[in-house]
Structure 1
């Protein structure tokens, strides 16, 4: 189905399935707006982690060494901020390469491709 389905993925171990789905509603919506399964296949995105307002995932090393992306919904204005990061898992270093603020849902794919060089569709 392509949706996040585990409360554990969101850091919750003891929530009921219903509670987990409600916690992950925004994360699932973000994934669908990025392209769902097509997005996963085209970009190689994996290790999805969602919470009440965001979705974070890993991508293969992209432009500027970007390998992690976080998309966060600003509930007050109903727009997204997209943070492109470079994480070195061996040295435990973390660096934000670029942040795009006030992104409309229909611009998510374009912003992602612009900053990573990875296409989300053929």
Structure 2
């Protein structure tokens, strides 16, 4: 499936709103993907003992009402697919960093 400029713009905006390069440095997040929902998906380091509930993947989806839904996913032993372990909806852009910290246990700033 092809991702158009709109979806890339939304993904970049979400990354900026969550902290940009500072966020990447502080959390070790990687493998950023623009979602066609639209939104942003990224993976967290597997070896981090600070991540709650062994969360390995996070999706931030833009909702039609201009808020976000944050999904925290993990892989269960022996499973191929990721499973949602936490979900919060109705998140405004200025709440993204705090919600990320609350859900994952990882801080986005010093």
TM-score range, shorter chain: 0.7 to 0.9
Q: Which aligned runs of 4 or more in structure 1 are off by greater than 2 angstroms?
A: 20-23, 87-91
Which structure has the bigger radius of gyration?
1
1:51 to partner: Cα distance: 3.0
Give 3-state SS (helix, strand or coil) of 1:24's partner: helix
Higher-RCO chain (CA-CA 8 Å, sequence separation at least 6) = 2
The residue aligned with 1:27 is: 11
RMSD of Structure 2 on Structure 1 (CA): 1.9
What TM-score, normalized to structure 1? 0.78
The residue aligned with 1:37 is: 21
Whole-angstrom CA distance in 2 between matches of 1:30 and 1:90: 32
The residue aligned with 2:66 is: 78
Preserved contact between residue 7 and residue 39 of structure 2 (Cα < 8 Å): no
User: 1:80–1:119: structure 2 CA closer, same or farther, 3 Å change rule?
Assistant: same
The residue aligned with 1:117 is: 105
- Which residues of 2 match residues 1-122 of structure 1 at below 5 A? 11-12=1-2, 20-52=4-36, 53-61=38-46, 62-75=51-64, 77-88=65-76, 91-122=79-110
Give 3-state SS (helix, strand or coil) of 1:60's partner: coil
Query: Which structure 1 segments of 5+ residues have no match?
Result: 1-10
Count of residues paired in the alignment: 105
